[in-house]
Amino acid sequence: MVSRVIPVDPFDLVVFGGTGDLARRKILPGLYRRYLAGQIPETSRIVGAARGEMDDAGFRSFVADALGEFLPGSTRDGETVGKFLAHLHYVPVDAKGEGGWPDLARLVRHDVVQAFYFSVAPALFGDLAERLHRFGIAGPEARIVVEKPFGRDLESARALNATLAEHFHESQIYRIDHYLGKETVQNLMAVRFANILFEPLWNARHVDHVQITVAETVGVGGRGAYYDKSGAMRDMVQNHLMQLLCLIAMEPPYRFDPDAVRDEKLKVIHALQPVPAEDIVRGQYRGSARKGPGGEPSYVEDAENPASRTESYIAMKVQIANWRWKGTPFYLRTGKKLRARASEIAIVFKEVPHSIFGDEEGWRENVLSIRLQPNEGMTLSVMIKEPGPGGMRLTEVPLDMSFAEALGEDGSDIPDAYERLIMDVIRGNQTLFMRGDEVEAAWAWTDPIIAGWEARGDRPKGYDPGSSGPEDALMLLHRDGRRWREIRE
């Protein structure tokens, strides 16, 4: 099935930090893929802006290299790449000074959609926002896109919101959480709100518990300095896992409209309970036993901080105090250097109230599993009779709702989260972006949890690279008579 491509209006997109890592790995290759899909109108301009001196030709060859590195050769014939590169420009700008801004003002037009992507340190957001107005670049409808981390606590997030609000209206601010751009995450909303089947079961009466797992195999090597000040709670839970939790837990919005959806998510965040110490397990990966070539460094080596107490893994039991979810725990876990790269949301339903088949061996609950990556898709496990004449024996089979068939065998037609979100910015659709109050509420819940373990002086537990995390995380579920789902690709 070829996905429908919705045309967009001509635009000028300026990427501040245009030669940075995110631009190279995600933003620019994503734009090329949108070009292939016919979504970059002929007259649109994509402008890289950064500190370094470079001309258009230099930037085009930088982008050509990035496409070569991050996209399969089959998608890159020379002529098409050349036509895409013709949309690109580069302006050296000094975020804290005056240099380059008049040049940018000459290049960026007012009669097309304007988007400014701040792929830079948050400390520069205010400087960029102010200059975009002072130099007459941003028109009244201009949109700005800001990356995480959006603050490191409530206070800094408030300060950032206040700075941005001095120059832009909330309706112009697009705070990216790229998890919201993932194909399955949006499908979660479709499954919940476009089918009658699930809604009657979607509550504490029928859902035993929910597991949200975002497991990664990579360590923090290369970005240890940033990560060590952040840890899994700030880097992943406060934003990505929180957003997933909100989409599962929220009430049906009255319409699929940005504020209607975000109002419902905000209510969930407000209903989150404080998390007691015994419901949190933090971990830090050890190094591999073998040192030297082929051996793997430990977290503290990657972070270059032997005394670090930062967690590279966290598991927690989260309770939502409202009518729908009271009594249904949400277990969250995320970590680096785990056994597989696998992200999954599992809705584990309760057992039938009475089994007419007796105490069947191998009885399992119904589970709706939503796979974010890899192998995007959904399965619903149901119990059926084992085929054959062997009597009334039950077996579990998956009802497969995977998207592979619909979206190309290898999933290569599934747009990357970034390209989808950038196109939403151009279309002016904020549904999949976080509103300022949402981010602040998420920090208001996160801050006391972090303050709690800091005050207690808790140390994270060690876990082996390639494992499922610290042993104590198993206990978090065992003591409730439950078990984690296996982490596997």
Which residue has its beta carbon closest to ligand BG6?
235
Residue 235 in contact with ligand BG6, rule: CB under 6 A:
yes
Closest CB to ligand BG6 among residues 233, 269:
233
Closest CB to ligand BG6 among residues 253, 283:
283
Residue 228 in contact with ligand BG6, rule: CB under 6 A:
no
Closest CB to ligand BG6 among residues 101, 179:
179
Helix (H) or strand (E) holding 74: none
Residue 12 in contact with ligand BG6, rule: CB under 6 A:
no
E strands, 23-101, are 45-50, 88-92
CA 464, 285, 236, 275 torsion: positive or negative? positive
**Between 154-167 and 125-134, two packed helices, what is the crossing angle to 10 degrees?**
10
CB of 303 to ligand BG6, least distance (A): 13
CB of 162 to ligand BG6, least distance (A): 24
Closest CA to 445 of 306, 222, 239, 176: 239
Interface with ligand BG6 in residues 95-154 (CB under 6 A): 148
Closest CA to 281 of 472, 480, 479: 472
> Which tokens belong to 482?
């439950």
> Which tokens belong to 475?
């206990």
Question: 170: which DSSP letter?
Answer: G
CB of 238 to ligand BG6, least distance (A): 11
Interface with ligand BG6 in residues 146-175 (CB under 6 A): 148
Interface with ligand BG6 in residues 425-454 (CB under 6 A): none
The set of catalytic residues is 240
- Roughly how many angstroms between the first and final C-alpha of the chain, as a whole number? 25
Residue 216 in contact with ligand BG6, rule: CB under 6 A:
yes
Q: Which residue has the tokens 């800001």?
A: 146
Closest CB to ligand BG6 among residues 178, 286:
178
Closest CB to ligand BG6 among residues 178, 265:
178
CB of 312 to ligand BG6, least distance (A): 10
Alpha-carbon 287 to chain mean position: 27
CB atoms within 10 A of CB 214: 23
Cβ(174)–Cβ(433) below 8 Å: yes
Interface with ligand BG6 in residues 64-93 (CB under 6 A): none
Question: In whole angstroms, what is the distance from residue 441 CA to residue 450 CA?
Answer: 15
Closest CB to ligand BG6 among residues 21, 400:
21
Sheet of strand 394-400: strand arrangement: 394-400, 377-385, 367-373, 342-349, 207-215, 330-335, 313-318, 280-285, 461-463
Question: In whole angstroms, what is the distance from residue 180 CA to residue 420 CA?
Answer: 10
CB atoms within 10 A of CB 407: 19
CB of 334 to ligand BG6, least distance (A): 9
List the x/- string, 409-428, binding to ligand BG6 by CB under 6 A.
--------------------
Closest CB to ligand BG6 among residues 215, 348:
215
The residues that bridge with 49 in the sheet, in sequence order, are 16, 91
Closest CB to ligand BG6 among residues 142, 414:
414
Question: In whole angstroms, what is the distance from residue 216 CA to residue 313 CA?
Answer: 10
Helix (H) or strand (E) holding 308: none
Question: In whole angstroms, what is the distance from residue 376 CA to residue 106 CA?
Answer: 43
Number of residues engaging ligand BG6 in binding (CB under 6 A): 4
CB of 278 to ligand BG6, least distance (A): 27
CB of 250 to ligand BG6, least distance (A): 22
Backbone angles phi and psi of 34, in degrees to 5: -70, -30
List the x/- string, 174-213, binding to ligand BG6 by CB under 6 A.
----x-----------------------------------
CB of 26 to ligand BG6, least distance (A): 9
Cβ(115)–Cβ(428) below 8 Å: no
CB of 148 to ligand BG6, least distance (A): 6
Closest CB to ligand BG6 among residues 331, 418:
418
Q: Which residue has the tokens 């832009």?
A: 168
Q: Is 293 exposed, middle or buried (0-12, 13-18, 19+ CB in 10 A)?
A: exposed
* Residues binding ligand BG6 (CB under 6 A): 148, 178, 216, 235
